[in-house]
Amino acid sequence: MRADREIANRLTVGLAILGSLLGKGAIAPSAIAQIIPDNTLPTPSRVTVGCTLCTIEGGTRQGNNLFHSFTEFSVPTGGEAIFNTLNSVDYIFSRVTGSAVSNIDGLLQANGTADLFLLNPNGILFGPNAQLDLGGAFVVSTADAIQFADQRFYSANAAETSLLTVSTPVGLAHWTQPVGTITSTGNLAVETAQSLVFAGGDISLAGGNLTALGGRVELGGLADIGTIGLAIDGATVRLTMPEMVNRSHVSLVNDARVDVTADGGGDITIQAQDVSLVGERTGLLAGIDFFSGTSDSQAGDITINATGTVKIDQADLLNEVLREAAGSGGNITVVGRELFLLNGGQINATSFSAGSTGQITVEMREGILISGVGVTGRRFLTSSLNSTVRQGGQGESGGIEISVSKGSLRIANGGAVSATVAGTGTAGDIDVQVRDAVVVDGVHPVGFPSALGSIIQVGATGQGGNLDVAAGTVSILNGADIAVSTFGIGDAGNITIAAREAILLRGPDVFVRDFPGNAERVGGISAGVQRSTLFPGAPPAEGNGGDINLITPSLSILDGAMIEVSTASLGNAGNINIAARNLLVQGRSVGDTFSSGIFSNVLAGAVGEGGRISVAADFAQMTEEGAISTASFSQGDAGDIQLRANVLRLDENALISAETRSSAGGDVRLELGQALLLRNGGRISTTAGTAQAGGDGGNIVILVSDGFVVAMPQENSDITANAFAGRGGSIALTARGILGIAPRSEQTALSDITASSALGVSGTIEVNTLDLDPDQGLIDLPAEVLDASQQVAQGCDPAAVAGGAQGEFYNSGRGGIVPLADNALSSDQVLEDLRLPEAWSEGPLVEAQGWLVSEANQVVLTVAPHPATVHHPCRD
């Protein structure tokens, strides 16, 4: 925007200076010609003093070069200046050595086919009555000198001796800071296929036309000392700007136009710092003219090469194959720091007839703004870049390439970038490469949404173009669209968006309607086979919808915004493929009409299949009625849904659905790592027959490989594969555990898993859990307390053994008694202290000689006999 103000300020100052000069009479048209030779040449120029119809004779000839020199050179309104030359002259070089501006408001004429150079460092003004009658090219410059191939110069400084040469011109040298400007309000035209060149200083076309049908118009200049290169090839004259030298400014206002349309050829090139085109009829025109050309004809190119800002406000750059013409259109290339395309300003490559369009290329370093809608008569014109095969046209669109190396692309307030087929042909691809942000924002008050996309229009036959966007962030806001669609016969293209940081889709925060105001707009990303609502009697579209592919770390879909593939006519919907580390789908539109979501729809009246939705994410959250849905409202089946994530959360009536009205429901497959969380009415559904009609319920597969399915029982969060007249679907659920939700034969107010059918056969539910057994590895203890006195045997003395009786020892239970003498004691408590004593003295193992019962009713073996134990159980 800063650059806009700079251009406006420069234009205002320039016009003020021009008005001041006119007021003082410095460059006002005079009643008589001011053509005054300066007698600095060996053979001076000759002209009748005070003439109105002036014939210029004399001059010094060197080979095929003719040199003229004047103190002043101006032509009054209605006057003429005729250079009388021989046919053998190739170049006429005319310089002004005085201090006056050249004011030309009459006719400039030269005999033969010589190229005419007019050099005046003070400035040159072409008035509204200025005309040309030349057989060759016309080169106008405010440089100080013309440089030749043999390194000689023809200088406008009379004090400097110029060595005249037979060599060809190769440059326009600025030896001092340029001060002269070139201004034109006239209608200047050269012969067909010739060149018309303005080399300043600043250049201002303040009305009128510059015309070189099938030839070349070039505008450019320097603001500092330097030399502009000249390349002359027959009738073609080209400028080459030096590197590292500041350029001047070029502006076109007040319906000024540059026209090179013909039966082929025709180039327009502007090389400057800032370039400004302002006004409804202001513009640059190239291409194949009406009733012209053949199938082999090739139009020329339009090129703007700016080091600063390019502003196109209400104006247009057009390279067209016009009606009843034949041939291929040329390219349009715009290079600069910033581009502002405003208030209906357009850059169009178009074919109305039998021929393909050229390519549009926009390369900016810091940013692009495309914004606003203009009004021309009763027509609305959106600010836009358009590559179009129009109605009646036959051919291929050359497509659009946009790049911003450091900044952002913003399309707002009804602005658009589109590749379109309205006749027969192929819509070109759109390729957008932006380092920072791509923002498509808003709807113009008359109803035009800001848009980026490719369309096959009603009645057209062809192939839609692909849309590829790569940026740091991509935002589609407030009802704006990124779309590829077919309303005619042919497949829509595909959308691929890769954002290094994030993709954001947000619906408008106020209620807005689309054009012509019959529906709420929410905006988003869409690809589909559409049915026209503007032309109810139009033939149905026929073709397949395109795919949508999104790759980004973060994808947010908010406030009713949508990602949608659909078919509303004859053909299948495309697929949606999303790879995002974090996914958020949240909320409804401000009119409460639409849920935010990812959708694949077979709409009413369509004949075709729904597309698949595939999502891969780490964390996926859907809330406030956000949805991922495939649906069929007609004969075709709904598409399938595949979602892979570590965690999936559905909250506040969020929905994953593959439902149909009367056909088979789609399938849903969820592959999750840690958790599926269902809260506050969150649902997963593949229900069929929502219109109380036939169709089997779809299938649901949920695999939580290392986690749980969690719901709250009272929150009515459901997993359903129901049907009305058809068979219920199947549900297969595998997780480590399922909490708060349970299989049931029919839906209840609780959180349910159902696969029922109102009139048909119920489906199946299979639940597989990997539950852990808390009793795993434990042994049941005896229910009765043992009598320790009956279970312990004391070692027998030799006398008892000698008596022939051998004793027995019983070890039962797990508390306080060890199976082996060298084992540690175990406790009957849950926690045990198995540490060794700090002081440990290992002694010999001996038989227990006694036992006692502790206060805890545990049996303890003792080394020495206890006083209470005096019997010998081993004896008879």
User: 3-state SS of 418-450?
Assistant: EEEECCEEECCCEEEEECCEEEEECECCCCCEC
Partnered with residue 361 across adjacent β-strands are: 333, 401
pLDDT bin (cut points 50, 70, 90) of residue 830 is very low
Query: What is the rounded distance in angstroms from the CA atom of residue 214 to the CA atom of residue 192?
Result: 6
How do beta strands 182-184 and 145-148 pair?
unpaired
How far is the C-alpha of 64 from the C-alpha of 708, rounded, in Å? 93
Going by the DSSP 8-state scheme, the letter that residue 588 receives in this structure is B
Extract the tokens encoding 40.
């600095």
**Residue 803 · residue 869 · CB < 8 Å:** no
- Do residues 304 and 241 touch, judged by C-beta distance below 8 A? no
194 lies in some domain: no
User: Which H or E element spans position 764?
Assistant: strand 764-769
| Over residues 784-789, mean pLDDT | 57
pLDDT recorded at residue 850: 63
Torsion over CA of 779, 784, 789 and 793, rounded to 10 degrees? -30
Q: Is residue 873 part of a domain?
A: yes
What is the rounded average pLDDT of the residues 258-286?
A: 97
Distance CA 548, CA 527 (A): 7
| Mean predicted confidence (pLDDT) in 827-844 | 47
Q: Which of 388-397, 551-560, 641-650 has the lowest mean pLDDT?
A: 388-397
Structure token digits, residue 322: 């016009």
Position 11 scores a pLDDT of: 37
> Residue 810 falls within a domain, yes or no?
yes
Q: In which domain, by residue range, is 854 found? A: 786-827+845-876
Inform me whether the pLDDT recorded for 798 exceeds 90. Answer: no
- Tens digit of each residue's pLDDT (9 = 90 or more) over 206-235: 999 999 999 999 999 999 999 999 999 999
Task: Say what the pLDDT of residue 839 is.
Answer: 44
Cβ partners under 8 Å of residue 757, min gap 6: 697, 722, 723, 724, 725, 726, 727, 728, 763
Separation CA 580–CA 643 (nearest Å): 11
Which of 833, 854, 779, 863 has its CA nearest to residue 824? 833
Report residue 366's pLDDT band, with 50, 70 and 90 as the boundaries.
Answer: very high
What is the DSSP secondary-structure string of 590-603? TTS--B-EEEEEE-
Q: Look at the chain and report how many structural domains it folds into.
A: 1
Integer Cα distance of 52 and 34 in angstroms: 9
When pLDDT is averaged across residues 279-302 and rounded to a whole number, the result is 95
Look at residue 517 in the predicted model and tell me its pLDDT.
47
CA-wise closest residue to 279 among 254, 258, 303 = 254
**With 80 as the cut, is the pLDDT of residue 489 above it?**
yes
Alpha-carbon dihedral 686, 692, 696, 697, rounded to 10 degrees: 20
| CA angle (477, 481, 483) in 5-degree steps | 150
Query: What single-letter amino acid sits at 599?
Result: F
- Report the chain's mean pLDDT, rounded to a whole number: 86
Query: How distant, in Å, are the alpha carbons of 135, 199, 239, 285, 304 from that of 268?
Result: 20, 14, 12, 8, 8
pLDDT at 870 over 50: no
pLDDT of residue 162: 77
**Residues 737, 738, 742, CA angle at the centre, nearest 5°?**
150
Q: Let me know if residue 32 belongs to a domain.
A: no
Instruction: For residue range 557-613, list pLDDT tens digits in order.
Output: 999 999 999 888 888 889 999 999 999 999 998 878 889 999 998 888 888 888 999
> Does residue 367 lie in a domain region?
no
The residue-averaged pLDDT of 820-847 equals: 49
**Matching residue, tokens 């209620």:** 511
Q: How far out from the chain centre does Cα 689 lie?
A: 39
Instruction: Evaluate the CA torsion angle 52, 58, 61, 64 in order and state its sign.
Output: positive
Looking at this protein, which amino acid is placed at residue 97? T
Sign of CA dihedral 341, 283, 347, 247: negative
Rounded to whole angstroms, how far apart are CA atoms 370 and 413?
Answer: 8
Q: Which two tokens stand for residue 219?
A: 């505008």
**Beta carbons of 411 and 441 less than 8 angstroms apart:** yes
Lowest mean pLDDT among 697-701, 709-713, 731-735, 838-842: 838-842
- When mean pLDDT is compared across 332-336, 354-358, 406-410, the lowest value belongs to 354-358
pLDDT of amino acid 19: 39
- Among the listed ranges 494-498, 702-706, 832-836, which one has the minimum average pLDDT value? 832-836
Q: In sequence order, which residues have a C-beta less than 8 Å from that of residue 786 and are 6 or more positions away?
A: 812, 813
- Measure the N-to-C terminal CA separation of the chain; round to a whole number of Å: 117
Predicted pLDDT of residue 570: 85
Beta bridge partners of 351: 321, 389
pLDDT band at 457 (very low <50, low <70, confident <90, very high): confident
In this prediction, residue 122 carries a pLDDT of 97
Task: Kindly state whether residue 855 falls inside one of the protein's structural domains.
Answer: yes
Mean pLDDT of 69-79: 95
Q: What is the largest CA-CA distance in the chain?
A: 168
Residue 415 belongs to some domain of the structure: no
Beta strand extents in 260-331 (DSSP E only): 267-272, 275-278, 283-288, 302-306, 309-313, 316-321
* Residue-level pLDDT at 536: 65
**Residues 293, 305: Cα–Cα separation, whole Å:** 28
- 562 and 548 Cβ atoms separated by less than 8 Å: no
Structure tokens at 8: 């406006």
Following DSSP, what letter does each residue of 836-867 receive, concatenated? PPSS----------EEEE-TTS-EEEESSPPT
Q: Rounded to whole angstroms, how far apart are CA atoms 716 and 177?
A: 80
* pLDDT value at 142 more than 80: yes
b/e map 255-284, b = 16+ CB within 10 Å: bbbbbbbbbbbbbbbbbbbbbbbbbbebbb
| Residue 486 pLDDT level (bands cut at 50, 70, 90) | confident
Predicted pLDDT at 876: 44
| Three-class DSSP labels, 784-837 | CCCCHHHCCCCCCCHHHHHCCCCCCCCCCCCCCCCCCCCCCCCCCCCCCCCCCC
Q: How confident is the model at residue 836 (pLDDT cuts 50, 70, 90)?
A: very low
Q: What is the DSSP string of 479-542?
A: T-EEEEEESSBS----EEEEEEEEEEEE--SS--B-TTS-SB---EEEEEE---SS-TTSPPPB
Is residue 534's pLDDT more than 80? no
pLDDT above 50: residue 245? yes
Distance, in Å, from the CA atom of 751 to the CA atom of 650, rounded to the nearest integer, reads 13
pLDDT for 643 beyond 90 = yes
Question: Which pLDDT belongs to residue 793?
Answer: 53
- Residue 392, helix vs strand vs coil: coil
Q: What is the pLDDT of residue 728?
A: 82
Domain assignment present for 861: yes
Q: What is the pLDDT of residue 73?
A: 97
Question: What's the mean pLDDT in 839-852?
Answer: 56
| C-beta separation of 348 from 330 below 8 A | no
Q: pTM for this structure?
A: 0.83
The percentage of the chain sitting over the pLDDT mark of 70, rounded to a whole number, equals 81
Residue 785 confidence (pLDDT): 56
In this predicted structure, what is the pLDDT of residue 82? 96
**Which residue from 522, 523, 582 is spatially nearest to 550, judged by alpha carbons?**
582
Q: Give yes or no for a contact between 491 and 546, defined as CB atoms under 8 angstroms apart.
A: yes
The answer to whether the beta carbons of residues 552 and 511 sit under 8 Å apart is no
